[in-house]
């Protein structure tokens, strides 16, 4: 379906996210014809920008993405700026009038997509005003896209959700988790439910363990102010990691529709074992990077406390107690300043029940899903070496997609996919409130145990450019396992 009709109203229109991700993504949708003449964007923020200045900013953010200047100019002409104080009711009246006139000018038919790309503490007042000042329309859809972080624990997330749901019903709330827009994350369901070899084997009878790594080479960069209050558990585990775990462990959805997919994910997350403090100590590891390999440690970064106890690394063993997955350890880890930037999933299958090749060591079959930096799949198998005798070797069936530069450039960025999903009302790549409830409950238990210092950890405990603290390797070794991804 092409030519979406939409008025996008971005709160936080001058911000970093808008410039780095949103404007380029909206431009891609425009270039590909999903947006044509029937769309407009209103950017709001406190700064007193003019439309002209705003359009220059928009053009700057898409620099290098077009051949002809006229395309950029025509695209930017759909952008309007309103200086806006989110707590001032009068400003919403101006916004309402502007929205109404743009709706008529571009014949949008009342479809409104509100994008909240600013501090969550304003979400409540923004949503209240959108409703009370009739910026929400009667004639089209009214959907709200909410950026992370969605709360910092279950209590604050609930409060936030209550505020939003006074104006928007659950089906109109699109909570962004940009990992759900990544090609290979979306491919998990395709692999699992589209192939009988995986579909039939995706359970505790055949899977030994699953490993999920989201490693980053960068440090906290200029976000230390936020990161000090969040830490890796809230920043990555609560959202991205648990969403991936849900996709890896959910039962087959009844059909591939939003409701059924989300129900399947909710059920999986409901089955996440919530740990007692003692179990947290057993099953979770936290880390913080110290100086190493020519890089400064976390505590030396600008805006961090010199005795900061913020974790920049987490590894854990999760159990999802569904009938099919009970007993399969799901090992996860994520961290800043690790050796490499990679998002990778390894599904380690059990060995054959009886090795008839007595003299040969057979390895586990492993399905590897590389999400970042390059999408690819690999299946590690035991097979005979070519030649005389009967020796075994480990071989890999690799699928690297062999993308040409053009194809690579054409891969939609996560935000591009997700914004289009929201316009077309495809909600399955956004987190449902019930998913968040489960994930916060799980994460809160860990946070609370750590706040009581059950593990008596001392920071820093891993070097920059390493794969995290030794305790992360020990976590798997205790079960006789090891990280398959060990660069
Ligand atoms: C964000 C986190 O959600 O994801 C960042 O807040 C992190 O700390 C980022 O760097 C990683 O995303 P990606 O797509 O680069 O792996």
How is the chain split into domains, by residue range? 6-147, 180-413+431-477
**Mind listing the pLDDT tens digit for each residue in 450-466?**
999 999 999 999 999 99
pLDDT given at position 210: 99
Q: Which of 240, 289, 313, 414 to mutate to test the pocket of ligand 1 (most atoms within 8 A of CB)?
A: 240
Please report the DSSP string for 286-338 in residue order: EE-EESBTTB--GGGSTTS-TT----SEEEEEE-B-STTTTT--EEEEEESSB
In 3-state terms, what secondary structure has residue 146? strand
In 3-state terms, what secondary structure has residue 14? coil
- Would you state the structure tokens that stand for residue 125, as one six-digit string? 């007042």
Q: Which of 230, 235, 241, 244 to mutate to test the pocket of ligand 1 (most atoms within 8 A of CB)?
A: 235
Pocket of ligand 1 (CB under 6 A): 178, 216, 235, 343, 372
**What is the rounded (10 degree) CA torsion for 439, 441, 444, 446?**
-80
Beta strand 112-116 with 79-83 is unpaired
Atom of ligand 1 nearest to the CA of 343: 16
78 is catalytic: no
Q: Tell me the pLDDT band of 487, cut-offs 50, 70 and 90.
A: confident
pLDDT given at position 439: 98
pLDDT given at position 403: 87
Across-strand partners of 144?
A: 114, 173
Annotated binding site for substrate: 178, 182, 216, 235, 336, 341
Residue 198 pLDDT > 90, yes or no? yes
User: Mean pLDDT over residues 12-17, rounded?
Assistant: 95
**Cα 220 to averaged position of ligand 1 atoms, centre (Å):** 10
**Mind listing the pLDDT tens digit for each residue in 262-320?**
999 999 999 999 999 999 999 999 999 999 999 999 999 999 999 999 999 999 999 99
User: Mean pLDDT over residues 36-61, rounded?
Assistant: 97
d(CA 345, CA 366): 10
pLDDT given at position 221: 86
pLDDT given at position 75: 98
Residues 6 or more apart whose CB falls under 8 angstroms from that of 166 comprise 127, 128, 131
d(CA 328, CA 377): 22
Beta strand 392-399 with 376-384 is antiparallel
Q: For the chain, how long is the longest CA-to-CA vector?
A: 84
Residue 483 pLDDT > 80, yes or no? yes
- Residue with the smallest CA separation from ligand 1 atom 9 is 236
pLDDT given at position 411: 86
**Mind listing the pLDDT tens digit for each residue in 206-240?**
999 999 999 999 999 888 999 999 999 999 999 99
| ipTM score | 0.99
Q: Tell me the pLDDT band of 91, cut-offs 50, 70 and 90.
A: very high
Residue 52 pLDDT > 70, yes or no? yes
Reading across the β-sheet that carries 6-11, which strands appear in turn? 79-83, 39-45, 6-11, 112-116, 142-146, 173-175
**Mind listing the pLDDT tens digit for each residue in 378-387?**
999 999 999 9
- Would you state the structure tokens that stand for residue 347, as one six-digit string? 């599904």
Q: Tell me the pLDDT band of 190, cut-offs 50, 70 and 90.
A: very high
The CATH class that applies to domain 180-413+431-477 reads alpha beta
pLDDT given at position 318: 98
Torsion over CA: 347, 348, 353, 355 (sign): positive
Please report the DSSP string for 15-78 in residue order: SHHIIIIIHHHHHHHHHTTSSSSSEEEEEEESS---HHHHHHHHHHHTTTS-S-HHHHHHHHTT
Torsion over CA: 311, 312, 313, 318 (sign): positive
> 475 with 455: CB under 8 angstroms?
no
Quick one: 6-147 is in which CATH superfamily?
Answer: NAD(P)-binding Rossmann-like Domain (3.40.50.720)
The DSSP element (H or E) to which 395 belongs, if any, is strand 392-399
The rounded mean pLDDT for the chain is 96
> The whole model's pTM is what?
0.96
pLDDT given at position 358: 83
d(CA 267, CA 339): 35
Residue 51 pLDDT > 80, yes or no? yes
pLDDT given at position 359: 80
Residue 1 pLDDT > 80, yes or no? no
Which entry of 78, 240, 364, 432 is annotated as an active-site residue? 240
């Amino acid at each position: 379906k092409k030519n979406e009709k939409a008025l996008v109203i971005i709160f936080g229109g001058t911000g970093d996210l808008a410039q780095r991700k949103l404007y380029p993504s909206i431009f891609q949708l425009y270039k590909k014809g999903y947006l044509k003449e029937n769309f407009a964007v209103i950017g709001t923020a406190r700064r007193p920008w003019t439309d002209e200045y705003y359009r220059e900013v928009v053009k700057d953010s898409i620099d290098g993405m077009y051949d002809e200047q006229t395309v950029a100019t025509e695209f930017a002409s759909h952008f309007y700026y309103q200086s806006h104080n989110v707590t001032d009711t009068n400003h919403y009246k101006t916004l309402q009038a502007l929205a109404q006139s743009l709706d008529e000018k571009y014949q949008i038919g009342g479809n409104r997509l509100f994008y909240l790309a600013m501090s969550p503490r304003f979400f409540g007042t923004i949503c209240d005003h959108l409703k009370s000042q009739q910026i929400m329309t009667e004639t089209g859809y009214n959907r709200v896209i909410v950026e992370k972080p969605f709360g910092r624990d279950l209590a604050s997330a609930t409060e936030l959700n209550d505020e939003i749901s006074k104006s928007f019903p659950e089906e109109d709330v699109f909570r962004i988790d940009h990992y759900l827009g990544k090609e290979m994350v979306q491919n998990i369901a395709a692999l699992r439910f589209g192939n009988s070899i995986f579909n039939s084997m995706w359970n505790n009878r055949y899977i030994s363990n699953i490993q999920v790594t989201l490693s980053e080479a960068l440090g906290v960069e200029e976000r230390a102010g936020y990161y000090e209050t969040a830490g890796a558990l809230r920043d990555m585990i609560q959202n991205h990691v648990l969403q991936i775990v849900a996709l890896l462990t959910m039962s087959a959805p009844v059909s591939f529709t939003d409701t059924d997919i989300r129900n399947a994910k909710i059920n999986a997350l409901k089955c996440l074992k919530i740990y007692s403090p003692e179990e947290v100590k057993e099953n979770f590891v936290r880390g913080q990077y110290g100086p190493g390999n020519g890089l400064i440690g976390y505590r030396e970064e600008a805006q961090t406390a010199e005795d900061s106890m913020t974790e920049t690394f987490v590894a854990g063993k999760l159990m999802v107690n569904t009938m099919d997955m009970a007993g399969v350890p799901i090992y996860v880890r994520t961290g800043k300043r690790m050796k490499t930037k990679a998002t990778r999933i390894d599904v380690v299958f059990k060995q054959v029940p009886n090795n008839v090749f007595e003299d040969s060591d057979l390895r586990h079959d492993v399905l590897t899903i590389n999400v970042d930096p390059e999408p690819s799949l690999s299946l590690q198998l035991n097979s005979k070496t070519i030649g005389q005798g009967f020796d075994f070797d480990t071989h890999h069936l690799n699928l690297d997609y062999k993308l040409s530069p053009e194809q690579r450039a054409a891969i939609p960025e996560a935000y591009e996919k997700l914004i289009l999903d929201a316009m077309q009302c495809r909600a399955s790549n956004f987190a449902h409130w019930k998913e968040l409830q489960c994930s916060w409950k799980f994460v809160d238990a860990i946070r609370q145990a750590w706040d009581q210092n059950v593990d008596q950890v001392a920071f820093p405990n891993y070097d920059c450019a390493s794969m995290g603290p030794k305790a992360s390797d020990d976590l798997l070794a205790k079960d006789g396992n090891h990280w398959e991804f060990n660069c």
